[in-house]
Amino acid sequence: MNSSGVLKSSSSELDLDRPNIEDYLPSGAAIQQEPRGKLRLHDLLDISPTLSEAAGAIVDDSFTRCFKSNPPEPWNWNIYLFPLWCFGVLLRYLIVFPTRVLVLTIGWIIFLSSFIPVHFLLKGHDRLRRSIERSLVEMICSFFVASWTGVVRYHGPRPSRRPKQVFVANHTSMIDFIVLEQMTAFAVIMQKHPGWVGLLQSTILESVGCIWFNRSEAKDREIVARKLREHVQGADNNPLLIFPEGTCVNNHYTVMFKKGAFELGCTVCPVAIKYNKIFVDAFWNSRKQSFTKHLLQLMTSWAVVCDVWYLEPQSLKPGETPIEFAERVRDIISTRAGLKKVPWDGYLKYSRPSPKHRERK
Amino acid sequence: MGNTSSMLTQYDIEEVQQHCKHAFTQQEIASLYQRFCQLDRNNCGFIPSDEFLSIPEFAVNPLSQSLLRMLDGFNFKEFIAFLSAFSPRSTLQHKIEFIFKVYDTDCNGKVSFDDMLTVLRDLTGQYMSEHQRKEVLAQVLEEAGYTKDSFLVLSDFMKILGNSDLKMEAEVPVD
């Protein structure tokens, strides 16, 4: 970044008879002592700044840090605490866990026995059916949250249903959606998952108006953008929830927001979610565990404690590009939830940076 | 130090410290070991080049290709030896040797005009044409007393870069 940035200005003319030192010098090189007007072999060969950057990246880089799940310090290491911890484990797995599974099963039974009839019988009465389905989805989400003994504190005005508004939130795990859905039935845009989650997605979530995308398909973006636009125009649709990071991050950092959510010409209502790590690490490391395992881990922990802040709606300021708008909203969310910002695109988790990023450096 | 062990013993740490000529403290070595294990996802005892490319900060570095060539298939000892050039405790000579190795693409102990051109190309990309690069390099070499066809060896590098305060350091986070 040092050498190329300065060389850029000299790309047109290169006067070799009188080399111009400003054109060639890497910024901050140890040249100040030398007489001006001469590019020396020493400067050309000194690649140490670039090498230092590379070594710094090898040793520790801000991107990997976003996805590291930090295990909590083991506190059960001495003779008094260890039996207590063993007791806790027994309690959690043998008593609390089955209770939770029971609660969840009851919840599902109630839900399915109400949802399926309503879905089919009330086919003609759309509005009624939709509002009942909405309450049912909110209910099953509450059951889910109860099954992890979720203690959620909501701050700020509850979302209301208005056209031309979009909600954006930081993303830590799939349960973000459930936590938010418990309060208000959102329509969410999510990656299509395989397995039982995918089944749930296509049946129940369809009723609240969710939109699917597939990360691996290139053309998908335009289709999704169109669907998003259609959704926000409809007054009757559930408010749309988008996770602009595009991937799960470990609740200490935020990665760059994708601008899609900010180009729709609506007001953007930021929502910040922060989990309390003392009770459980809610970060879903999708490369390390499947969602089922993640859920089981949550259900065998003591509790899921989190804070949800509904923040002030923002609109695109005159003269602001969507990217700047996205950055501004990311700033607001990060400050509220105490997360550090990182200048990387979340999708780099799945692919390499393209050569053009290297060229720019 | 076996491939399967995920914990370093004191003995291992001392051995590695000896190997890198005490360029790192024991804490730094332990920290770097954690980093190594993080990068070595498949626990095979060495880091494939792919892993380095999955670090965005590294992948966008202009010299990543040259460094990858040097880094391929490193086990932990070699990893530490590689990074020891970036420790504040390593000597200027060690750092210059490292830079020499980056330039010496065919590892024959001599840096040719083409070698230097390759590195220059990596650094400047499309901001300079090939012709301009050759001209600048030839010009600068002549001013320093070499010709286009001369080969630079390590002692030349020492002479050229030796009397500067070369800053080449990377900080190892120790928690």
Judging contacts by C-beta atoms under 8 Å, the chain A residues touching residue B125 are 4, 358-359
How many CB pairs below 8 Å do chains A and B form together? 159
Is residue A270 in some structural domain?
Answer: yes
- What is the extent of the structural domain holding A193? 151-347
Residue in A39, A56, A358 closest to B62 by CB: A358
Q: Tens of pLDDT along A162-197? A: 777 888 888 888 788 888 888 887 887 777 777 777
List the single residue in B with minimal CA-CA distance to A9.
B127
Is residue A41 in some structural domain?
Answer: no
Helix (H, G, I), strand (E, B) or coil at B72: coil
Give the ranges where B10-129 is alpha helix by DSSP (H): 10-19, 26-39, 49-53, 56-59, 64-71, 76-83, 92-103, 113-124
Q: What are the residue boundaries of the structural domains of chain B, listed by start?
A: 12-90, 92-166
Is residue A57 in some structural domain?
Answer: no
Separation in Å, CA of B18 to nearest CA in chain A: 20
The mean predicted confidence, pLDDT, of chain A is 74
**Under a CB-based contact definition with an 8 Å cutoff, are residues B149 and B158 in contact?**
no
Residue in B52, B103, B116 closest to A58 by CB: B52
Is residue A267 in some structural domain?
Answer: yes
- Could you identify the residue written with the tokens 């990217």? A323
Is residue A29 scored above 60 in pLDDT? Answer: no
Average pLDDT on A328-348 reads 82
Q: Tens of pLDDT along A143-169? A: 888 887 888 888 888 877 777 788 888
Sort strands A267-275 and A304-310 into parallel, antiparallel or unpaired. antiparallel
**Under a CB-based contact definition with an 8 Å cutoff, are residues A258 and A344 in contact?**
no
Helix (H, G, I), strand (E, B) or coil at A85: helix
The tokens of A332 are what? 């607001």
* Structure confidence at residue B61 (pLDDT): 82
Q: Which residues of chain B from 52 to 81 reach within 8 Å of chain A, CB to CB?
A: 52-64, 67
Which of A270, A258, A255 lies closest to A315 in space, CA to CA?
A270
> Distance between CA B127 and CA A8 in Å, rounded?
6
Q: Is A55 at the interface with chain B, CB within 8 A?
A: yes
* Structure confidence at residue A353 (pLDDT): 61
Sequential pLDDT tens for chain B (175 residues)? 444 445 778 888 888 888 888 888 888 888 888 888 888 777 777 887 777 887 877 888 888 888 888 877 778 888 888 888 888 888 888 888 888 888 887 778 888 888 888 888 888 877 778 888 888 888 888 887 777 777 888 888 788 777 767 777 878 777 6
Q: Which fold has domain B92-166?
A: Recoverin; domain 1 (1.10.238)
* Structure confidence at residue A4 (pLDDT): 40
Virtual torsion, Cα A234, A239, A244, A245, nearest 10 deg: -150
Q: pLDDT-derived band of residue A22, with 50, 70 and 90 as boundaries?
A: very low
Residue A92 is classified by DSSP as I
Helix (H, G, I), strand (E, B) or coil at A280: coil
Across the interface, whether the CB atoms of A44 and B172 are under 8 A apart is answered: no
**Under a CB-based contact definition with an 8 Å cutoff, are residues A185 and A137 in contact?**
yes
Which of A260, A4, A340, B133 lies closest to B141 in space, CA to CA?
B133
Q: Which residues are registered as beta bridge partners of A249?
A: none
Is residue A11 scored above 60 in pLDDT? Answer: no
Is residue A319 in some structural domain?
Answer: yes
The tokens of A239 are what? 């408010």
Which of A276, A284, A264, A285 lies closest to A329 in space, CA to CA?
A264
Helix (H, G, I), strand (E, B) or coil at A283: coil
**Under a CB-based contact definition with an 8 Å cutoff, are residues B60 and A357 in contact?**
yes
* Structure confidence at residue A347 (pLDDT): 66
Q: Give the number of C-alpha atoms closer than 13 A to the C-alpha of residue B150, restricted to the C-beta side.
A: 13
List the single residue in B with minimal CA-CA distance to A61.
B57
Separation in Å, CA of A30 to nearest CA in chain B: 7
Q: Is A352 at the interface with chain B, CB within 8 A?
A: yes
Burial classification of residue A224, based on how many CB atoms lie within 10 Å of its CB (0-12 exposed, 13-18 middle, 19 or more buried) = middle
Q: Is B158 at the interface with chain A, CB within 8 A?
A: no
Percent of chain A's residues with pLDDT above 70: 78
Across the interface, whether the CB atoms of B53 and A352 are under 8 A apart is answered: yes
CATH number for domain B12-90, candidates 3.30.70.1400, 1.10.238.10, 1.10.1200.10, 3.30.450.20: 1.10.238.10
Which of B158, B156, B14 lies closest to B91 in space, CA to CA?
B158
Q: Are the folds of B12-90 and B92-166 the same?
A: yes
Is residue A279 scored above 70 in pLDDT? Answer: yes
Helix (H, G, I), strand (E, B) or coil at A202: helix
Judging contacts by C-beta atoms under 8 Å, the chain B residues touching residue A59 are 32, 35, 83, 86, 170-173
Is residue A73 scored above 70 in pLDDT? Answer: no
- Give how many domains chain A has, as a whole number: 1
* Structure confidence at residue A21 (pLDDT): 42
Separation in Å, CA of B6 to nearest CA in chain A: 16
Across the interface, whether the CB atoms of B56 and A14 are under 8 A apart is answered: no
The tokens of B167 are what? 């800053």
Judging contacts by C-beta atoms under 8 Å, the chain B residues touching residue A361 are 60-62
Burial classification of residue A223, based on how many CB atoms lie within 10 Å of its CB (0-12 exposed, 13-18 middle, 19 or more buried) = middle
Which of A148, A162, A177 lies closest to A248 in space, CA to CA?
A177
**Under a CB-based contact definition with an 8 Å cutoff, are residues A255 and A245 in contact?**
yes
Which of A175, A186, A187 lies closest to A296 in space, CA to CA?
A175
